[in-house]
Chains A and B, each alone.
Chain A
């Protein structure tokens, strides 16, 4: 059977296709079919010849095999320093082999490469900072994922996720109506506490266009209300687009580059339609990476920038606190040992190491903040990045991966972990569930709301 009915080289492009895939519980049939999926070696080799150019070829060639990347990889560290987890080995034995063999590789090899690409690398790019030659294995794994996706060797959830973006322009089956309805409903819920609270939809020329993670609509609707509350209290002229509101990109994790382009273009179209001064994205790491850092390139924007200035939620928050738009009641600051999870996607890969600490300086009573070690751009991945959190097939490996963050948190002695990133937040929740170390974890929005000093005129009348 060269192509399965579920596992094949075709992307999912219809709602029915998604339903059919979802009906296959845990992808049981999907992975069975994968065992007989044929490889289109000619296409694979042609793609490599067209897209694997001097940067990656040189990386693969000049790698000195020095092993300095080993200790930089959290998966190497938590897997008993297994030499097979050394980043250079992982990429040389997968992408390196495919190139050496000019695409003539077998089914078992491709399934193995899939496991390495999604369960042995979270594309956190930490190894890139430890290689004397500046070889960024994470980038190469992102590339390898694209090749594997093209050939149909992609984890079940990733295939579904990429399909969701193609069908709904969102990582989940959340329609534009669902989004607006949920947002309006949540705002109504909080209207009594915050008189005048609204969600301005499709307002042109606003100062801020806010974009979110579809999970918030489906699973964490309070997050939407919290965002509205903070903009309301800060007095921002903000809006949400009725279309193009999804910041995330599971297609990036899946290596479905065509879907990546479709997804970011929907957000950019909203920017062009509403002409906001800036876009602010929710507390999510990969979403920021996808839409703000990588997205412009997928969309073919030569300057590598989105149509309007786009910032991460923590950048807006730091600015609002700095300028006094939001005021913190000093008595309500955090007074328990607290630490911060630096997200790879916007700290290591977009330079925001100080911004998060500025926020900490406003909201934590001096003496209670403890840095993780290592931290900032050298911080380890939460353990669930790059799609790892969402792949049931590799859950066991993911749970082992969580040990690194668990031990980092334990070493701080903190009782609360601030995680302004959906992926990190999930991973930390899962590690608490798995290892029960007695911690709490939180996004910034709910913490800030609890300690806000709300101006008199915005308070509910008694």
Chain B
């Protein structure tokens, strides 16, 4: 019992401490709550160009710090979200977007899953509706019938 409570305590400590020590240390003063929420949303949507599987909010790399600062500046200047996204894309490429824009290049990405599901549904429908294979020769011939009787009687 004691062990369990110690374990739980240890767990809460780990869970409680980790996020705080892992998040980058910066303080930004926002002019209002909306800007703050937009900052948080954008820094989650934008990908760090250096550490490729982290977003700007997550990453501690110098370039992510710079880009967070730039993002803050752009927000303070009153730029719209789309303008900010364009600013980043024009410098770092489509790569910085975690949600790529719909373009001929990303059609497969956006519509591929839907097309695959549709294909799957079609296949299932075709398979289910296909007429069962005709059952031929299910009736025993006279010869077989005799053999069967024979076998049964012998028992």
Q: Do A and B come from one complex?
A: no
| Chain B interface residues (CB < 8 Å from chain A) | none
| Chain A interface residues (CB < 8 Å from chain B) | none
